[in-house]
Structure 1
């Protein structure tokens, strides 16, 4: 079996340039159901990464399978416009789903999305991915405010790897290193964690002419940056910028569609963005994205006069396949109450992770008041991260413990849990836990037990050699 895996990975690297898959990663997924993944050996894993927020409805959901079966029957009987390029034509067809006749079209999807956004005044920029959606939002603002050549983002941010979105990204050096970045001149602000950092950033803003700044793009929970939720001080900063004419662009590509226990993440915080970008879970695994905005927002006035046909487009934007999957995904959310479920299961996930950390401390440092290892839990809804720090005598403080993070991540996989790393390895190495929203209490408990075991095993490997 190892030989077969080696042959597969050799074939892979004989075809492609590097992406985000590690050269030494030999895991090959051959099956998936619900929250379970299966490799080529038949070993099962619990999916606690949801493919970075894509698989919020889980894998091969029975409702989706039934809808897809009905779709295939409709295609065979009625020859619906399945391969139509949505940039050139409108499309519309009807599929029987869950005993109902469901319209599949761009307006039908948009009308469903209006209910979770700004109501009837919501307007959409159609796109196919998170990065392209963020790019379109930036282009949109540039059309409205061509004289404003500067913009803000936060350190630790991840807005994508292409075009203007790359200029906003500031999570890991590899994501920007060596690339020339055009568009707006970006000012990356420190991510405001407390009253002290708020005061520092506000002092810095006193020297900046805010009238020259078009927008700030931000995640209300930084995922790639290390699972960093905003707080009351971050919100104060965002409101200050908004009050001074800076457009607020909320990147909800990863946190939208239930991840935080709300349809859109801003519902958890006392802030209303001017533009919201969504993708990933929106299509239930199919590439689709959208920038949402309120047509009557005074900050965006004149948009309908400045945009002409052809100002923005993408070959596969809101195509028949992606629109079908997005509509079915929203139907699954509603039928199975996944928003409420994310809030409920989020509490269980937090408790399970805290319990695992307590068991680790009891093993590694019993009775120690100020632990050598500081493992911090942070997050919201069904998205939590554990940050790894270790006390360094020379620095007289805590520093990044990437060795323990990486060893724990490897042991988690060996113990049947697949999740993701996050954060800057030199600053805040993190493991993030973001299972599909259909996850059960039993699966969360299994993850908690596996984490406790993995932390202890990793500690023995790294510090007890």
Structure 2
């Protein structure tokens, strides 16, 4: 139980922060592995992992060493020049995921926005004027306006309308819904799905469902886009959860545990999706990653 002085301190400190969160009344001053230590010296098991971020734990020696080494050499130069560390990280991720190339960004929402832009480019290239992307009930893809529109959360969406058009929501893991797309089918260009949903409980798509989605994407020239932001980077025993289902996606999106607390996201593409971007078609200031280990 907090004493009144401590409670007032928390309230005062939050006065200069926008009220988008309701944090618990506690400060953590340090962490080691899966343990956090509060400012009054009490140890807590970190079962949240910074919301699926710190897969390698707090203050991991190898991560600390890599960050310190790079910080002492170079911070930021932008994508107007070649960045060896960025090239090496792209190569490493593509080899792990069996993909062709990568775009780096700052968050999962940005990675999903990148995937959406690729899907729309793919649709326009096919002559589809108003491309549709299939998304799922119970999904969570981020809080940018487009990703809110792809996310099934009335609370998160409240007050931010009008939403971005171009999404067709289907019930998650429902085989019958895939057979009843009707007139919408001609405008569909991609499917965006989390193989394992984490926002509305841990909901795992069946292998049969994912394989059917994959087959439909192949048969109809749709992009299969897998959101691995929460389920990727070793959380399911494989590097990425889709590898447990023997899928071959066109696009995967990553963030969270990819940086273990360092802000980074990535969109990996393969095949036809890997050649859709051209110089100037996408970019961001803080995406010239100088850290690779």
Pairwise same-fold verdict (TM > 0.5): yes
Q: What do residues 54-79 of structure 1 show as CA deviations (whole Å, max 9, x unaligned)?
A: 1011000122234445445xx2xxxx
Partner Cα distance (2:277, 2:195) in 1: 29
Equivalent residue of 1:266, what SS? helix
Partner Cα distance (2:162, 2:262) in 1: 28
| TM-score using structure 2 length | 0.89
What's 2:114 paired with?
136
- Aligned with 2:280 (options 303, 306, 310): 310
Q: What do residues 31-61 of structure 1 show as CA deviations (whole Å, max 9, x unaligned)?
A: 1110001112211111112112110110001
Cα separation, partners in 2 of 1:71 and 1:106, compared to 1, 3 Å: closer
What's 2:56 paired with?
57
Note the C-alpha offset of 1:167. 1.2
Tell which deviates more after alignment, 232-241 or 221-230.
232-241
Cα separation, partners in 2 of 1:280 and 1:181, compared to 1, 3 Å: farther
Partner Cα distance (2:93, 2:64) in 1: 22
1:82 aligns with 2:75: yes
Cα separation, partners in 2 of 1:125 and 1:70, compared to 1, 3 Å: closer
Note the C-alpha offset of 1:253. 0.8
Given that 1:130 and 1:253 are in contact with CA atoms closer than 8 Å, whether structure 2 keeps it comes out as yes
Equivalent residue of 2:286, what SS? coil
Q: What do residues 261-298 of structure 1 show as CA deviations (whole Å, max 9, x unaligned)?
A: 1111110113221100111111121111111111xx25
Partner Cα distance (1:276, 1:38) in 2: 35
What's 2:34 paired with?
35
Q: For this pair of structures, how many residues does the alignment match?
A: 287
What's 2:289 paired with?
319
What's 1:157 paired with?
139
- Aligned with 1:167 (options 143, 149, 156): 149
Query: Matches of residues 358-437 of structure 1 in structure 2 within 5 Å?
Result: none
What's 1:178 paired with?
159
Note the C-alpha offset of 1:182. 4.8
Given that 1:32 and 1:60 are in contact with CA atoms closer than 8 Å, whether structure 2 keeps it comes out as yes
Cα separation, partners in 2 of 1:91 and 1:252, compared to 1, 3 Å: same
Note the C-alpha offset of 1:12. 3.7
Uncovered stretches (5+) of structure 2, i.e. residues with no partner: none
* Pair member with larger Rg: 1
Partner Cα distance (1:68, 1:236) in 2: 40
Partner Cα distance (1:126, 1:70) in 2: 21
Partner Cα distance (1:112, 1:69) in 2: 21
Uncovered stretches (5+) of structure 1, i.e. residues with no partner: 93-104, 329-465
Cα separation, partners in 2 of 1:66 and 1:271, compared to 1, 3 Å: closer
Partner Cα distance (2:5, 2:79) in 1: 42
What's 1:227 paired with?
202
Note the C-alpha offset of 1:163. 2.9
Cα separation, partners in 2 of 1:186 and 1:12, compared to 1, 3 Å: farther
Given that 1:154 and 1:190 are in contact with CA atoms closer than 8 Å, whether structure 2 keeps it comes out as yes
| TM-score using structure 1 length | 0.58
Cα separation, partners in 2 of 1:264 and 1:313, compared to 1, 3 Å: same
Given that 2:190 and 2:222 are in contact with CA atoms closer than 8 Å, whether structure 1 keeps it comes out as yes
Partner Cα distance (1:311, 1:5) in 2: 50
Partner Cα distance (1:12, 1:224) in 2: 29
Could you say which structure has the higher helix fraction? 1
Cα separation, partners in 2 of 1:198 and 1:144, compared to 1, 3 Å: closer
Partner Cα distance (2:27, 2:66) in 1: 28
Cα separation, partners in 2 of 1:165 and 1:58, compared to 1, 3 Å: same
Note the C-alpha offset of 1:138. 0.5
What's 2:11 paired with?
10
